[in-house]
Chains A and B, each alone.
Chain A
């Protein structure tokens, strides 16, 4: 699903709100927006709902409009299925109207799903709802149906530029009560169980109502939504990690053991020998899988390119430079004495300090990272390691997770000596599994100690969601403050620390 990669970015740009796209294995006819802050758009795994960019963008823009202009979910009360369906159409029109006030290009994005071949003809209730959607989306469109004209007059104030007359939930409810009666009087049948919002880009509107009250939307597959809702903020990427999550330490008995202090911000002192780190190779399971192209951002590429440029050397004769090139000066003097043309490239550039660096990539393997993000971080780490070693730097990749202060795993995924292309490295990287917690500070201390023993300038790149927590720490600030302290210690030792999170480097 190639569209998925840029759609969250698109959604964020529209009204500044985050939207996760979650594929659910269910027979959905329309997308489902989660009730939890409307922050997740559940779409079926089937590719059929994402046939092209136009539908994908239209769907995300519509969901983002709900996010931006939503009323809180309300009780269905005494509203009947006909009125619920009507309410959905009016609410869709309301949020789309508000959205188009800011982004007028959206009308051209949505309108094709209501007009032309996509338009539903007829005078049945569902056809009228589809025609109503068209009329409200494009007030300049003329539909001669008397009831549609009545709704349009109720919905918009009469003006050259139509503005919303129905803005509050109460006003909308009152309107659908009246309009529902009209439908009743027209004796139009309505099969609520088989009803589906006509325009393919619109969601099923189940988020408009408090859950558990009505059979119309009760069949929507909210299992995955509940899973999302139960997760802590920032853990939405963890979807799908259940089967691959590990629940206890897997470190082999041959692991090396280290003790490290931890910073307690409340007392302003270190707790000596507080944490135990076990470092070693993970038992290799399974076989290597093909790794996709890594998610490389501009910033990541710039950083790698910058490192490459540091390696450039020039000791040639130059037109400009820092010091005279002795041989060039002699040649120039000879040329002048013998009446020949002088070669004015008489300088040379001073060489820079040896920039060879040891770079340690530290991948957060904790459960909060989630399997999907972990895979992306693994790919990014491999890509980075490959580029860095090509540039002449030494590079190692470790993973880490914790099970309380007494057991912090540091898993060697690629040692300094191993080649990135080595099958065993690729096997380890393709078998990354999330589990345990994140104790960043002690991992940085361990990494700093190991890097201090290397002669070259050293840097650490932490690939993590940045959420420091562990099962035996209940003060949310404790591990974060320890991490900050550990960063400070590393910098005092001259070690660079950078943080990479799903495409962002800082």
Chain B
């Protein structure tokens, strides 16, 4: 691994509780140099899985949060102007490709189409990155691994991944872990007791029933961890769930009263 990316190496093992075969699947894809697509609801552990695997594989991790203005130039690099004139600066994707690291594009579908096209030759057997403006074809380092995530429930008619893109990836479909595993995660992440973890997970399951009632997504594992951490920091349980789970979930006029009533029903004052 190049020293250029040493600052992107993780120093400590990020905690990750496997819910299935995703660790083996990820390792196999890395060994076979195949790109990985992670799909699943928000806060189910996609990013944490990538961080954990980066630590496990001892590879630098460059994470890019995609947004609707993310262009090919933002990924590949651009010409800069300085006192001596113009000089080329590699973008984050180019750094990972050139020096061997995991490039994680979070919520890929948010990126602009020119950014997506840039990934095509990288994600198939060619494993090359075309720096059109710089005039270079960068052959990917053997340790380069492309990982992308997206959340299917956010997609609309013109904002899904096209088959030409999807079929370049191996895909790991993730979901919220089953109750016992989710409870373990809360206990590990926030150091709370089993009974409290059970109550929080039961509450989350109830909110997840509302996805056909107008709620985009139910309470994620991430929100539960936040609530558990607030409790561990001394906040009463009900107040912690209100702050960490109910309030971030929705401010919809029809949903919020239902969530508040559910909060009252679920926890003692």
Interface residues in chain A, defined as those with a beta carbon under 8 Å from any beta carbon in chain B: 5-10, 12-14, 16, 53, 57, 61, 102-106, 108-109, 295, 297-299, 302-303, 306, 309-310, 320-324, 329, 332, 336, 342, 344, 346-347, 349-350, 352, 457, 459, 496-498, 503-505
Cα distance, A336 to B85, chains bound together (Å): 10
Q: A10-B261, A109-B264, A306-B156 are in contact. Are A298 and B250 (CB under 8 A)?
A: yes
Query: Given A9-B210, A13-B262, are A320 and B268 neighbors across the interface (CB < 8 Å)?
Result: no
- Inter-subunit contact A329/B266 (CB<8 Å): no
User: Do residues A61 and B213 form an inter-chain contact, with CB atoms below 8 A?
Assistant: no
Interface membership of B56, Cβ < 8 A = no
Q: Which residues of B contact A504 (CB under 8 A)?
A: 212-214
Number of A-B residue pairs at CB separation under 8 A: 117
B120 at the interface (CB under 8 A from A): no
Q: Smallest Cβ distance from A212 to chain B, in angstroms?
A: 35
Could you tell me the distance in whole angstroms from the C-beta of A295 to the nearest C-beta in chain B? 7
Find out whether the CB atom of A106 lies under 8 angstroms from the CB atom of B258: no
Chain B: interface residue count, which band?
A: 35 or more
* CB–CB A6/B158 < 8 A: no
Q: Is the CB of A12 within 8 A of B254?
A: no
Whether B68 contacts A12 by the Cβ 8 Å rule is no
27 of the cross-chain contacts (CB-CB < 8 Å) are A5-B253, A6-B256, A8-B213, A9-B210, A9-B214, A9-B258, A10-B261, A14-B262, A16-B206, A53-B261, A104-B266, A105-B263, A105-B266, A298-B216, A299-B214, A299-B216, A306-B156, A310-B68, A322-B71, A322-B72, A324-B79, A329-B81, A459-B157, A496-B157, A496-B158, A503-B254, A504-B212
> Whose C-beta in chain A lies nearest to the C-beta of B263?
A105
Scoring B residues 239 to 269 as 1 if CB is less than 8 Å from chain A, else 0, what string do you get? Answer: 0000000000010111111110111111111
Chain A residues with CB under 8 A of B81: 329, 332, 342, 344, 346
User: Using an 8 Å CB-CB cutoff, how does the interface string of B140-169 with A read, 1 for contact, 0 for none?
Assistant: 000000000000000011110000000000
Point out which of B257, B265, B266 has the most chain A C-beta atoms below 10 A from its C-beta: B265
Residue of A nearest to B83 (CB): A336
Minimal Cβ-Cβ distance residue in A for B206: A13
Task: Give A7 to B254 CA distance when docked, in angstroms.
Answer: 9
The CB with the most chain B CB atoms within 10 A, among A5, A322, A347, is that of: A322
The reply to whether A297 and B214 contact each other, CB–CB distance below 8 Å, is yes
A324 to B78, alpha carbons, bound, how many Å? 9
| A336–B83 CA distance with the chains assembled, in angstroms | 8
A12 touches B257 (CB 8 A): no
Q: B214, A13: Cβ atoms under 8 Å?
A: no
Which B residues touch A309, using CB under 8 A?
A: 68
Chain B residue, CB-CB nearest to A459: B157
Report A181 CB to chain B, min CB distance, Å.
37
- Docked pose: A262 CA to B101 CA in angstroms: 52
Residue B202, interface by CB 8 Å: yes
Query: Given the complex, which residues of B lie within 8 Å of A302, measured CB to CB?
Result: 216
Q: Which residues of B contact A12 (CB under 8 A)?
A: 209-210, 213
Q: Are A104 and B216 in contact (CB under 8 A)?
A: no
Task: Name the distance in Å between A304's Cβ and chain B's nearest Cβ.
Answer: 11
Which residues of chain B are within 8 angstroms of A322 by Cβ–Cβ distance?
Answer: 71-73, 114
Interface pair B210/A349, CB less than 8 Å apart:
no
Pair A320/B213 contact, Cβ less than 8 Å: no
Tell whether B112 is near chain A: CB-to-CB under 8 Å: yes
Q: How far is the CA of A329 from the CA of B85 in the complex (A)?
A: 11
| Cross-interface CB contact of A321 among B73, B259, B267, cutoff 8 Å | B73
A5's closest neighbor in chain B, by CB?
B254
In the assembled complex, B124 has its CB within 8 A of some CB on chain A: no
